[in-house]
Amino acid sequence: MSFHEYASAVLGQDIEAGAFATTSFVGLGGDSLRALRLVAITQEKLGLRVPVAALLSDTPVAEVFAGAVPAGKPVGGSEPAAEAISHAQRGMWLIERVTGGSPYNLVFTCFVETGTLVPELFERAVARTVARHPGLRTVYRGDTGDVVPEVLESYVPAVEAHSWEGEAGEFEERVRSLAARHGRRPFDLAEAPAYRFLLAQGGTGGRAVVLVAHHMVLDGWSVGLLLNELFARYANLAGGGPETVGEPGVSPRVLLRHQEEARASGEWDRQAEFWTKHLDGVPSVLEVPSDRQRPPIQDAAGARLPIEFGVPAGAAVAERAKALGITPFAFLLGAFGLTLSRWTGTRHLLVGVPLTGRGSTELEELVAVAGNLVPVRIDIAEDAAVATYLRSVHQSLGQSIGAGDLPFEELVTRLGIERTLGCHPLVQVSFGMHDQLVPQRIETSGARLRIEEGHGGGAQFDLSLLIGRAEPSFGGHLEYASAVFGPADAEGFIADFLAAADQLATAGDVAVEEIRCLSTERRALLDGINRTREDFPATSIDALFRETVLRDPDAIAVREHEVQLSYRELAAAASHQARLLREAGVRPGDRVLVGLDRSIAEAVAVLGIVWAGAAYVGVDLAVPIEHSGKIVRSAAPVAALVPTALAERFRQLGIPVVAAWDRSWEMREVVEAPVDPDTTRPAYVAFTSGSTGEPKGVCVPHRAIVRLVHEADYVHLGPEERVLRLSPLAFDASTLELWGALLTGATLEVYPAGLPTPTELGEFLLDNEVTVAWLTAGLFRLVEEFAPDAFAGLRQLLTGGDVVPHEHVARVLRRHPGLVITNGYGPTENTTFTTTYSVTDADDVDGPLPIGTPLPGTRVYVLDARHRLVPPGAVGELYTGGLGLADGYLGDEAETARVFGEFSPDVPERLYRTGDLVRIDTKGRVRYLGRRDDQVKLRGYRVELSAISEALTADERVQDAVVAVSDGDSAEKRLMAAVVPAPGAVFGTADLRDALNGRLPAYMVPTLWALVERIPVTGNGKIDRRALAAVAAPATAAPEPQDDLGPALAMFIEAIGEPAVEITARTDFFTVGGNSMAAIRLVTLAKERTGAILKVRDFLRDPTPEGLGRLLASAS
């Protein structure tokens, strides 16, 4: 036969020779599976080597064949050992041992639609089929620490019979339930061949056969072979045919021989070279976001959800793929990759694609596992046309298939991919077309069967999208790791994938960035989050304060120690303060500096300033004068209210100092006329933390404060509440404390000047019967640890400014039932809070707290790098809009334009870009993920690490420096600096610290230091924070091995095999040469030497001699 004849046979149709000269293989109806078969046939029958990638390209078939080269004779490698297994099986066996379960069970159900199924004949058919195939008689022993296959001489599997009485309509659901139940039952790979047959019979004549098999025994291709042969044998027996076993089936050792020949010929080396170049620059870990936290050790449990395209959508996909000259497989893979990109924000990713691994006609008859996994690189260029993108996916798929002889486990090893226990190496998501492997129907002379794929309750990857033809469209399911994703996450991903497929098929040749992977229904979810109250009083905060005074003038407004003012008295004092300011030349729109400690005087000062129509500027005069001087120069205040001791400093700057309230003031009735209650005029200027060392003044209008506190639904404020006054006026949390109390009739309880200790603060809260308090996340943690009863009198505790330690939240809620704890998030540029999340039950705290939902009058949007909306659940940067937005930065139009404006074509309104990475979870809550750049938040302050590094390298004694943040939550985070001294420079880290203290605010000065020869970095060039922490943090020497660790230490060393470094009690197994196989060997040694039966996963939780010693002691 000629190449063209073989091609026609593979394509399943008679094709005129002329078509091969003008049409590509895909254009003639070919796909990747048929391409692989044609390549194998051509090599075996014609001795020619045809590249798969070329066959799948748009090159005409005849031209591809013309470029074929002689295949050459196979190079004989060493004969596989009897105890050898394939690389794929070894990888599965390792995971089996680590997870302690059987995650890879295939489940297929064959429903008999016509004909009968006699149990006795079926059992005989099973026995003879099993007798023919050695792969169906193999067990896997692992007692020696390694896995050894053993082919049983004879084995007849039992066929479990199940029968029910009842309605015919119930039968199929009962069978599916039976299949799922047995699919979740683990196999003992050493006890018997890991598969089982079930025969189900219904009272009304329903019949079905269920096959459940471990993936070490069968793959999709061999399931198809097995079922076809099994039912052909049954039909033969039912028709009175002979009961012969037939010729022996292909042995799994044939696969091993083919792999050894490929290795010996250098083909593996050539493919490894391709992979090294092809995968360069692609991350080997793809974190698809979800509501659940990934467990430290991969959990094998999984679940599936169905996917249904619908006829019009399926037809559009098929038609568009054909028009582009690509396969539907490649088209849908492209939709999958684009959806993953929209969810993760990455533009370069890997998707695992399973191959049959049957590169010869001989292996096509192998009833055993032969499959291989290849990573397919997907690159998303947003400016590229859709057609260009999809063709690039098709091309990349062809390249990966063409290098698919190198076993995946070998590929991972050669690439030097770091293996972690928490996820699958190199690829964490996969995509497959299952209908090409297992037939949907089988027809014999006496019966017609419909085959359904079930699920064994496991998941090999985080996400696996499995698609097949479901005439006249496509269908399939999404399999997901249930420890990583919940059903709602999976449902959202399916919706976005279907939207991507539909938009790619119907949008024309637009740019990729126009494909949003966002359906109308999912866009409606985003819009629903932002449906908040918009009706706020169009007035100023001083006008609202005067209304509060009129409602209850004799209520206590503010209390400091034993001194208190009623609302009437506070209004009189504020009016007097406004008069003094006007006499000093303050006019509406001016700015007035306030540098007073927390006090009644401070409250009077800010009230008087806004009463006069001016804006207050809080400043901490305790910071270095260089820093506070920058704020004064930028704010250009026309007056100042500061302590008497500092008055002369400001007079020398030409700034009039106005007297602040004291107890000697005479409290007269309000006489000072208020200014026009304009809600748009500036109320205050808050200078941010100065992330670059240059403070930025955020101008906040009155309307933003009204939106924050007027009839707020996230916190209960009113006459019966006592609100803690603690935050520095320069910190925008003070906005909530001051105006949340004074605009609602609550009492402001002023904490004395100075930094509080947890115990002192706790005593204040209790003694003053405070009911509402704001604490930074770090201070909240300290109070919970050292004064846990301090919250006994609170009704609501608000916290934030950094990641809130959720374990402490749970403990507080258990200790104080009825307390409401609110996680408040928001940049100064959107006035204190943008979103909040409240919790009252400790049982609802199952991980890091969300930052919640937007405040009334606030809108939040998650956008990608090109300012387009991302789907719910996807990662993007948080943008916020609404009434809380600041006017911009004082005197800095360029910076204002950079972060405030109409950025998004999807959101035509003025927004502020926060720089924070977030996602919207399945309950519509925003979850904070980190900073977009290297700017971090430390104890409530925003710090740009590069600014500190620049300050360090400006010192002539420093050659290089980096700054990082240590791991931990808000209270534990520390700035760490690694410094490379300049040649010849001699100094101590205290010298550098002192130099920075004079230049930067205290919160920007690192507390942990190290002088190093070079900056510690990880393998991908990023700062190695763990290594930096090890040398920067105060530490004692690692403990020496103790006498009782002798046996554990000896086994630890033996399992690794003479490590090159000294082993101590706390040496990590995987840092001195240990791997998964060595861990299994160690557990085996423990059983042999001590009789202790240990689980690998338990050892992996603390993989040290000390941890092993504890396990041994516990087992004994």
Token pair listed for 475: 């269908």
Q: Which residues pair with 749 in a beta bridge?
A: 559, 724
> Which residue, 351, 550, 607, 574, is CA-closest to 462?
351
> Which residue, 137, 179, 135, is CA-closest to 160?
179
Q: What are the pLDDT digits (tens) for 469-489?
A: 777 889 899 999 999 999 999
Q: Are strands 935-938 and 772-776 parallel, antiparallel or unpaired?
A: unpaired
Token pair listed for 1114: 């516990």
pLDDT at 1037: 32
Q: Which residues pair with 682 in a beta bridge?
A: 701
> Which residue, 569, 593, 570, is CA-closest to 581?
593
CA 1097/CA 523 separation, integer angstroms? 42
Question: % helix / strand / coil in the chain, to the nearest 5?
Answer: 40, 20, 40
Phi (first) and psi of residue 640, to 5 degrees: -145, 145
| CA angle 340–345–349, rounded 5-degree value | 55
Residues listed for the chain? 1116
CA 459/CA 300 separation, integer angstroms? 6
Phi (first) and psi of residue 536, to 5 degrees: -120, 150
- Secondary element (H or E) of residue 618: strand 615-618
122-136 CB burial, b ≥16 within 10 A, e <16: bbbbbbbbbbbbbbb
* DSSP conformation class of 468: E
pLDDT at 1020: 38
Burial class (CB in 10 A: 0-12, 13-18, 19+), 1058: exposed
pLDDT at 353: 97
Residue for token digits 């003479």? 1058
Say if residues 796 and 819 touch (Cβ distance below 8 Å).
yes
- 807 contacts: CB under 8 Å, gap ≥ 6: none
- 1038 contacts: CB under 8 Å, gap ≥ 6: 1064, 1065, 1066, 1067
- Secondary element (H or E) of residue 210: strand 207-214
CA-to-CA dists, residue 22 to 27, 32, 62, 63, angstroms: 10, 20, 8, 9
Give SS3 for 1015.
Answer: coil
CA 859/CA 849 separation, integer angstroms? 20
Count other C-beta atoms under 10 Å from residue 488's C-beta.
15
CA-to-CA dists, residue 13 to 6, 224, 440, angstroms: 11, 22, 20
What's the alpha-carbon Rg for the chain, to the nearest Å? 36
Say if residues 121 and 237 touch (Cβ distance below 8 Å).
yes
CA 731/CA 688 separation, integer angstroms? 8
Q: What are the pLDDT digits (tens) for 733-765?
A: 999 999 999 999 999 999 999 888 999 999 999
Residue for token digits 């005197």? 891
CA 1057 distance to own-chain centroid: 37
The gap between the terminal CA atoms of the chain, to the nearest Å, is 70
> Which residue, 59, 889, 867, is CA-closest to 398?
59
Give SS3 for 748.
Answer: strand
Q: Which residues pair with 566 in a beta bridge?
A: 556
Residue for token digits 């008069």? 579
| CA angle 223–227–231, rounded 5-degree value | 175
Token pair listed for 134: 């050695």
Phi (first) and psi of residue 907, to 5 degrees: -135, 90
* DSSP conformation class of 42: I
CA 182/CA 176 separation, integer angstroms? 10
Please, what are the domains in the chain? 3-70 (1.10.1200.10), 87-253 (3.30.559.10), 538-703 (3.40.50.980), 936-1032 (3.30.300.30), 1043-1115 (1.10.1200.10)
pLDDT at 1060: 67
Count other C-beta atoms under 10 Å from residue 526's C-beta.
20
> Which residues does the chain have with pLDDT short of 50?
690-691, 970-971, 1018-1021, 1033-1041
Phi (first) and psi of residue 473, to 5 degrees: -135, -150
pLDDT at 495: 96
Token pair listed for 634: 């930028």
CA 1082/CA 1084 separation, integer angstroms? 5
Say if residues 330 and 390 touch (Cβ distance below 8 Å).
yes
pLDDT at 968: 58
Token pair listed for 1107: 């941890």
- Secondary element (H or E) of residue 252: helix 252-264
Amino acid, res. 543: A
> Which residue, 242, 192, 188, 184, is CA-closest to 212?
184
CA 72 distance to own-chain centroid: 48
Token pair listed for 277: 């170049």
Say if residues 405 and 359 touch (Cβ distance below 8 Å).
yes
pTM (two decimals): 0.84
